[in-house]
Amino acid sequence: MRKRSANTCIFTGPAIAAYGFGNDHPFGLDRHDAFIHALEASGLAEHVTSHPTAIATREQLALFHTDDYIARVKQLSDSGTGFLDSGDTPAMPGIYESAAAVAGTSLAATEALMSGECRRAFVPIAGLHHARRDRAGGFCVFNDCGIVIEHLVKLHGLERIAYVDIDAHHGDGVFYAFEDSPRVYFADLHEDGRCLYPGTGAEHETGKGAGAGRKLNIAMAPGADDRDFLAAWLRAEQFIAAAEPQFIILQCGADSLAGDPITHLAYSEKSHAHAASRLAAVARTCGHSRVLALGGGGYNRDNLARAWCAVVRAFIYSD
């Protein structure tokens, strides 16, 4: 460790570890602890400030989601049967509470950044970017990314928010919710939608109406590696830096690493470290240093541990 920094905060605990869909599901309950064990083994844990989780209120969930959808999740969570979408996202008993914990914890991390308590923050079980305003999708019940964006707009009045997504899957729940928003600068590098769920994120999708030109979708070919990532990343970084964002969200899904069981990209954790490091530099240039990293997907446990630790390490090394 070249230098220490107490400016990087991580938000962890059993309430978000409980977000998952059982041991036979890719999004199992062991992902949180896989990260924690790697963080401790790497020696990084002593260089971050640990914060507890928080629970989102119904009003906070309603910043993004419809009242009908929130009520439906609660009802299905209490009964613990069926699916929240067409078959990817089971209605596990208590999923309402654990999904509200994910959203509440991402909001707590946002507040820690806005207050200046932290300069950079990471939440491992978070970044549930497929959930739409009125429905679940792709293992995502409440879209904490979207809730954070609405919170920053409605409660803090921010005018320029960057959302950057390097998960293998397109962040469709964020993209379509803010497609016409001039306040959200969206950059998403994902596996080509012709090869992978959710099938969206074509490069011609650059925003609509007042949001036209403020969204960047980059479709990566199956098998794309770190060199391909770096080339594409430069476009994303220049796009985000030009917006001079007041707050940066990084959805750093680890399912874009080689060896993920449900995707076909082939990055290493170096791509994640690069993205985190460069966004920290952009945020510093903008005069605030605020970067919120959300764990996102990643279904190979070794991969998620390496990718997320690489993000935390990059944050610690950033000034």
- How far apart CA 193 and CA 191 sit, in angstroms, is 6
For the purposes of burial, counting CB atoms within 10 Å of the CB of 3, is it exposed (0-12), middle (13-18) or buried (19 or more)? exposed
When asked if residue 173 is in the footprint of Zn ion (CB under 5 A), the reply is no
Residue 169 among the catalytic residues: no
Number of residues that bind Zn ion (CB under 5 A): 6
Provide the minimum distance between the beta carbon of 49 and Zn ion in the complex, in angstroms, as a whole number. Answer: 28
Provide the minimum distance between the beta carbon of 193 and Zn ion in the complex, in angstroms, as a whole number. Answer: 12
Residue 178 has a CB neighbour count (10 Å cut-off) of 24
For the purposes of burial, counting CB atoms within 10 Å of the CB of 76, is it exposed (0-12), middle (13-18) or buried (19 or more)? buried
Provide the minimum distance between the beta carbon of 146 and Zn ion in the complex, in angstroms, as a whole number. Answer: 16
Which residues, numbered 229-268, are part of the site for Zn ion (CB under 5 A)?
253, 255
Cβ distance to Zn ion smaller for residue 72 or 169: 169
Provide the minimum distance between the beta carbon of 160 and Zn ion in the complex, in angstroms, as a whole number. Answer: 26
Tokens of 254: 């680890």
- How far apart CA 250 and CA 145 sit, in angstroms, is 9
Cβ distance to Zn ion smaller for residue 27 or 122: 27
End-to-end CA separation in angstroms for the chain: 14
Binding to Zn ion by CB under 5 A, coded x per residue (else -) over 152-171, reads: ---------------xxx--
Q: Quote the crossing angle between the two packed helices 95-114 and 67-79, to the nearest 10°.
A: 130
Provide the minimum distance between the beta carbon of 137 and Zn ion in the complex, in angstroms, as a whole number. Answer: 11
Question: Which of 127, 173, 295, 297: binder of Zn ion (CB under 5 A)?
Answer: 297
CA pseudo-torsion sign 292, 294, 300, 301: positive
Cβ distance to Zn ion smaller for residue 16 or 108: 16
- Active-site residue among 130, 169, 170, 264? 130
Residue 39 has a CB neighbour count (10 Å cut-off) of 24
Cβ distance to Zn ion smaller for residue 150 or 165: 165
Which of the ranges 50-58, 109-117, 290-298, 301-309 carries the binding residues for Zn ion, by CB under 5 A? Answer: 290-298
Cβ distance to Zn ion smaller for residue 167 or 205: 167
Q: Which residues contact Zn ion (rule: CB under 5 A)?
A: 167-169, 253, 255, 297
Catalytic residue numbers read 130
